[in-house]
A = this chain, B = another copy of it.
Amino acid sequence: MKDVATAAGVALKTVSRVVNGEPGVHPATAERVRAAIDRLGYSRNESARVLRSGRTATIGLVIEDVADPFYSGLSRAVEGVVIGHGCLLLSGSSGEEPGRERELVETFCARRVDGLIMVPAGDDHTYLWAELETGTPVVFADRPPGSGIDVDTVLTDNAGGAALAVRHLLGHGHHRIAFLGDDPEIYTAAERLRGYRAALGGLFDERLVWMGPPSPDPVRAALDGMFTLESPPTALFTGNGRYTVTTLRALAGRRVALVGFDDFELADLLDPAVSTVAQDPSWMGRVAAELLFRRLRGDTGRPEHIELPVRLIPRGSGELPPPPR
């Protein structure tokens, strides 16, 4: 900046004004400065600007895994809003590990992000206290913060979506509906189980519930176990997109009624086409990011707790009737 000033025959501050588009610079002077900038290939050092001004124009995003379509969709939406506000996005994947989540958050905070959006992996977020006190806004997405923290949160109506799926299957004559989902330690899985159970009421049978990681072998074993019960399931409700796919593979062509939580590409091309309870990851990302920027603009209202609705997309698999007895 000093060199540009010398080259343009002005003071350093004038260059700063031009670079920042501040008013009160004579057009001709500004032009001279811009010419010097181009000639010297100058570009402002953001670290220095941040150090002085305290504003980084950076938002941190912690998700579970960029390679998961749900989170990459969410990322893309967050990125869009962030860019639209002239900011840059730092992002990282926790891989469902609380320690990694915390490391990422601490790294982002050390870089003085203006705000943070996170899909938590752990359930203890008291380590955020210090940062929250300095005024950095934090928005939780997809899963709520652990106890002791109350900030803006954007969730999906998980229980409602699960109930929707179960009622849909009940409506098509099923009484034995199994649930396969993630470990209930994961918030969304627990909520979906809750909705499933509530909608089933007296029909609930714990032998038709299996929760664990969505790996092929355990899922196949679980299904085999259920199908050899005296009164086997006639319909399945799968707790997320990965589960749906793993389950479909394990079924190996057997035609069983199925509704899956999470929509996925190609659901319409399978045979039967797969009925799903669809969340909208872009919507969640957009809402979370907008909530964050509202805080950055100075909104100090009470924390918002938004629950996004889901919709059931009937495509065939969820409308299969129970087999005749």
> Does A316 count as interface, using CB distance less than 8 angstroms?
no
Would A44 and B93 be within 8 Å (CB), given that A66-B75, A67-B75, A73-B67 are in contact? no
Indicate whether A110 sits within 8 Å of B45 (C-beta atoms), given known contacts A76-B93, A79-B93, A269-B270.
yes
Partner of A92, one of B48, B79, B265, B270: B79
- The contact of A67 among B72, B88, B249, by CB within 8 Å, is B72
A290 to B203, CA, bound (A): 55
The verdict on A16 contacting chain B, using a C-beta distance below 8 Å, is no
Query: Chain B contacts of A91 at CB under 8 A?
Result: 89, 91
CB < 8 Å neighbour of A106 from B43, B45, B93, B264? B43
Answer whether residue A271 sits at the interface, using C-beta atoms and an 8 A cutoff: yes
Does A6 count as interface, using CB distance less than 8 angstroms?
no
CB < 8 Å neighbour of A269 from B51, B112, B249: B249
Of B45, B75, B249, the contact of A112 (CB 8 Å cutoff): B45
Contacts of A215 in B (CB 8 A): none
A46 CB within 8 Å of chain B: yes
B-side contacts of A28, CB under 8 Å: none
Is A248 part of the contact surface with B, judged by Cβ < 8 Å?
yes
CB-CB under 8 A from A270, the residues of chain B are 266, 269-270
Residue A83 lies at the interface, judged by CB distance under 8 Å to chain B: yes
Per the 8 Å Cβ criterion, residues 22-78 of A in contact with B are 41, 43-48, 50-51, 56, 65-67, 69, 72-73, 75-76
Work out how many copies of this chain go into the complex. Answer: 2
Could you tell me the distance between the alpha carbons of A83 and B76 in the complex, rounded to whole angstroms? 21
Cβ contact of A46, chosen from B76, B110, B269, cutoff 8 A = B110
Chain B neighbourhood of A65, CB < 8 A = 76
Chain B CB within 8 A of A245 CB: yes
Among A44, A47, A67, A265, find the residue whose CB has the most chain B CB atoms closer than 10 A.
A47
Q: From A248, which residue of chain B is reached at the shortest CB distance?
A: B269
A126 at the interface (CB under 8 A from B): no
A237 vs B270: C-alpha distance when bound (angstroms):
21
* CB atoms of A66 and B41 under 8 A apart: no
What's the least CB distance linking A83 to chain B, in Å? 7
A248→B265 CA distance, assembly (Å): 12
CB-based nearest B residue for A87: B107
Contacts A66-B76, A66-B79, A67-B76 given: A43-B92 contact, CB under 8 Å? no
Top 10 A-B residue pairs of the complex, sorted by shortest distance between their CB atoms: A47-B50, A41-B130, A72-B72, A67-B76, A47-B51, A46-B111, A47-B47, A266-B266, A67-B72, A46-B110
Jot down 16 A-B pairs with beta carbons below 8 A, ordered by A: A43-B106, A45-B51, A47-B48, A47-B112, A48-B51, A51-B51, A66-B79, A76-B93, A79-B93, A88-B90, A88-B111, A245-B265, A249-B268, A264-B266, A265-B266, A266-B266
User: A-side interface residues toward B, CB under 8 Å?
Assistant: 41, 43-48, 50-51, 56, 65-67, 69, 72-73, 75-76, 79, 83, 88-93, 106-107, 109-112, 130, 245, 248-249, 264-266, 268-271
